[in-house]
A and B are shown apart, each in its own frame.
Chain A
Amino acid sequence: MSRAALLVLADGRFPAGGHAHSGGAEEAVRTGRITDAASLESFCRGRLHTAGLVAAALAAAAALGCDPAALDAAADARTPSPALRTAARRLGRQLMRAARATWPGLELDAVAREFPRGVHQPVVLGLAARAAGLGAADAAHCAVYESVGGPATATVRLLSLDPFDATAVLARLAPEMDRTADTAVSAAHRVRKGGPDELPAASAPLLEIGAEAHAARPVRLFAS
């Protein structure tokens, strides 16, 4: 693997549309669940161990070469909110575009052709990691980092939170991110033998409910 390629893929400036999404942070801010750095940390911890873990396992399994269509269906089954499913596919499509331009290859082309409306973003993340010559652990680390990095950046904009405090939250979560990524990679290896039912199905009902409320709001800064 190339450590530098991992940095390219994990960079928040990687042009795949993430900047327009808050990972549920905007709705949590609006409903008073995120008010400061401490509550941001709680929110991020919850997201990491639920949506983050599932995303990381999907990404790791895709990076191992598991069937993207089966993983996409498994992601649907683990995402009750239609708004979140739509957002995940839209982001998947955007990431697919960026990945194909960055690491051109037949495998990405074939998935783009097969699914012109996009597959869930974590699945594409795993395929992108694969195209970049990265492994399952790299894909899982990208996914867990994204699962908390997005909300932290969004909260800086939404609450004018001190950016140093927000970054310190991410740093404090780093050991948990590593452990979550490890759990996800173990699950991904099981998926290779036992199929997508081996994927974790940790859910965060408030994130799903909040996503539906957010999608219905006429005024918002972030798409999700």
Chain B
Amino acid sequence: MHLDHSLPLPAPAVGADAHRPGGARRALRVGLGGPVGSGKTATVAALCRVLRDELSLAVVTNDIYTREDAEFLLREAVLPPERITAVETGACPHTAIRDDISANLEAVEDLEDAVGPLDLVLVESGGDNLTATFSRGLVDAQIFVIDVAGGDDIPRKGGPGVTTADLLVVNKTDLAPYVGSDLARMAADAKAARAELPVVLQSLRSEEGVRDVADWIRARVAAWTA
């Protein structure tokens, strides 16, 4: 091979550079993490349905041992298949989103190359524990999704996901009466744990659905492209 440094194409980016190799601004990357079964994939699907007509978007999933989440999104046809990529994590989604983000960076860059330009890439973590947060080298903002059925003491217990995520979503509020969860207490504990950081309580079965989270993302995209 020849080591010709005068080639017009720059080498691919190495980290969370805000620009594509060609100089254009890359897509905003938003991570969604949270415990198993809290409704991350359902939230991603709802966001895709609401935002796909106004934004160019794509999704990266990080499943633990299958392609279930990617296949759910494909089955629900929330996006064309070429806009959904599954990253395999070797049993450790928190490693792939925090400690070793190389596979996820490849995935988001490949999506931009293949179907871009994109406005937004949603990076969904596999269900994990309360300490699983995204590296700032991978995403620009992160959403932590918990649910009322997982125990109403989770906001009080805190942990990096609950306390530091840019947005905390308390999901499945419609289930609160059936599982004996105290929504007011969850909201108050979340506010105490997060100071000024926002919290959204949502039920995807309600009329409002994912509206508040979608509005939060719209504001983020507007700020990113401004």
**Residues on A with beta carbons closer than 8 Å to the beta carbon of B15:** 97, 101
Cβ contacts A101-139/B at 8 Å (1 or 0 each):
100001101111110100000000000000000000000
The answer on a CB contact under 8 Å between A69 and B1 is: yes
- Closest residue of chain A to B9 (Cβ to Cβ) is A113
Contact A106 B5, CB 8 Å, known A17-B100, A113-B11, A221-B65: yes
- What is the bound-complex CA distance between A157 and B90, given in angstroms? 9
Cβ-based interface call for B184 (8 A): no
Closest chain A residue to B92, Cβ basis: A19
User: A174-185 interface mask toward B, CB cutoff 8 Å, 1 = contact, 0 = none?
Assistant: 000000000000
B106 and A110 within 8 A (CB): no
- Given A107-B3, A112-B11, answer yes or no on A219-B102 (Cβ-Cβ < 8 Å): no
Question: Is B95 an interface position by the 8 A CB rule?
Answer: yes
Measured CA separation A107–B4 after assembly (Å): 10
Asked if B67 is an interface residue, CB under 8 A from chain A, the answer is yes
**Contact between B106 and A93, CB atoms less than 8 A apart:** yes
Q: How far is the CB of A90 from chain B (nearest CB, A)?
A: 7
Does B10 lie at the interface of the complex (its beta carbon under 8 Å from any beta carbon of A)? yes
Question: B55 interface residue, CB < 8 Å from A?
Answer: no
The number of residues on chain A lying at the interface, defined by a beta carbon within 8 Å of a beta carbon of chain B, is: 37
Q: Are B95 and A113 in contact (CB under 8 A)?
A: no
B93 to chain A, nearest CB (A): 10
Q: List the A side residues contacting B219 at CB < 8 Å.
A: none
- The interface residues of chain B lying within 8 Å CB-to-CB of A222 are 88, 90-91
Bound complex: CA of A111 vs CA of B12, how far in Å?
Answer: 10
Partner of A15, one of B12, B87, B102: B102
Cα(A184)–Cα(B211), bound, Å: 60
Q: How far is the CA of A112 from the CA of B7 in the complex (A)?
A: 12
Docked pose: A86 CA to B105 CA in angstroms? 17
Assign chain B's interface to a size class. 20 to 34
Query: Is the CB of A162 closer than 8 A to any CB of chain B?
Result: no
Chain B residues with CB under 8 Å of A98's CB are 102
Nearest Cβ on chain A to B181's Cβ, whole angstroms: 33
Known: A109-B11, A219-B66. A17 touches B91 (CB 8 A): no
B28 within 8 A of partner (CB): no
Q: State whether A223 touches B90 (Cβ < 8 A).
A: yes
Q: Would you call A220 an interface residue if the criterion is a C-beta within 8 Å of the partner chain's C-beta atoms?
A: yes
Question: Closest CB of chain B to A157's CB: distance in Å?
Answer: 5
Out of A94, A95, A100, name the residue touching B11 (CB < 8 Å): A100
| Assembly CA distance A79 to B101 (angstroms) | 27
How many Å lie between the Cα of A17 and that of B99 in the bound state? Answer: 10
- B106, A94: Cβ atoms closer than 8 Å: yes
Nearest-Cβ distance from residue A194 to partner chain B, whole angstroms: 19
A68 lies within 8 A of chain B by Cβ = yes
List B residues at the A interface (Cβ < 8 Å).
1-5, 7, 9-12, 14-15, 64-67, 87-92, 95-96, 99-103, 105-106
- Counting from the closest, the 10 A-B pairs by CB-CB distance are A20-B90, A94-B102, A15-B100, A69-B1, A223-B88, A112-B11, A110-B3, A113-B11, A101-B14, A109-B11
Sample of 17 A–B contacts (CB below 8 Å): A13-B100, A15-B99, A15-B100, A19-B90, A19-B96, A94-B103, A97-B106, A100-B11, A101-B14, A107-B3, A110-B11, A111-B3, A112-B11, A113-B10, A114-B2, A221-B90, A223-B90
